[in-house]
């Protein structure tokens, strides 16, 4: 199965700054990668699909890029509600797999 490795595990960022999160796949998943946000006590929320397509209602400060094995989620000008855990997920191969997550915390 495809292993997704996210880095860093924890990212300390000040509000208003940019956060850059990485997701690396154990083999190419083309562009079939999604990003989710999970706030404490809540279910995950889809942010990005197919590497770079923002889901409905997701603010423009969230952007995704990458293909093959290396992907990036960028959050421009962090808002207080953006401090959460972010996960990547691939759908190129079954079984679907998720990364271990990156926690974005307030610096």
Partner 1 sequence: QVKLVQSGAEVKKPGASVKVSCKASGYPFIGYYLHWVRRAPGQGFQWMGWIYPKTGETDYAQEFQGWVTMSRDTSVSTAYMELSRLRSEDTGVYFCARASDIAYMDVWGPGTTVTVSS
Kind plus residue range of the DSSP H or E element containing 64? strand 62-67
Using the structure block, give the residue that is written with the tokens 């953006």: 82
Q: Does 103 bind partner 1 (CB under 8 A)?
A: no
Using the structure block, give the residue that is written with the tokens 């093959």: 68
Backbone angles phi, psi at 81, to 5 degrees: -75, -5
Output 80 or 95, the one with its CB closest to partner 1. 95
* 16-35: contacts with partner 1 (CB under 8 A): 34
Residue 37's DSSP bridge partners are 45, 86
Output 13 or 46, the one with its CB closest to partner 1. 46
Choose the stretch contacting partner 1; rule: CB under 8 A; options: 14-22, 23-31, 39-47, 64-72. Answer: 39-47
Q: Does 94 bind partner 1 (CB under 8 A)?
A: yes
Task: Tell me the C-alpha to C-alpha distance, in Å, between residue 79 and each of 16, 69, 98.
Answer: 6, 29, 25
Q: Does 100 bind partner 1 (CB under 8 A)?
A: yes
Output 27 or 77, the one with its CB closest to partner 1. 27
Using the structure block, give the residue that is written with the tokens 């610096």: 107
Binding site for partner 1 (CB under 8 A): 34, 36, 42-46, 49-50, 55-56, 87, 89, 91, 94-101
């Amino acid at each position: 199965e495809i292993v997704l490795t996210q880095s860093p595990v924890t990212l300390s960022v000040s509000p208003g700054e940019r956060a850059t999160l990485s997701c690396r796949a154990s083999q190419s998943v083309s562009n079939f990668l999604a990003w989710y946000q999970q706030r404490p006590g809540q279910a995950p929320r889809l942010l990005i699909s197919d590497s770079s397509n923002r889901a409905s209602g997701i603010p423009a400060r969230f952007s995704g890029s990458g293909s093959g094995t290396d992907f990036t989620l960028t959050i421009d000008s962090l808002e207080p509600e953006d401090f959460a855990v972010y996960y990547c997920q691939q759908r190129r191969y079954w079984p679907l797999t998720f990364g271990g997550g990156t926690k974005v915390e307030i610096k």
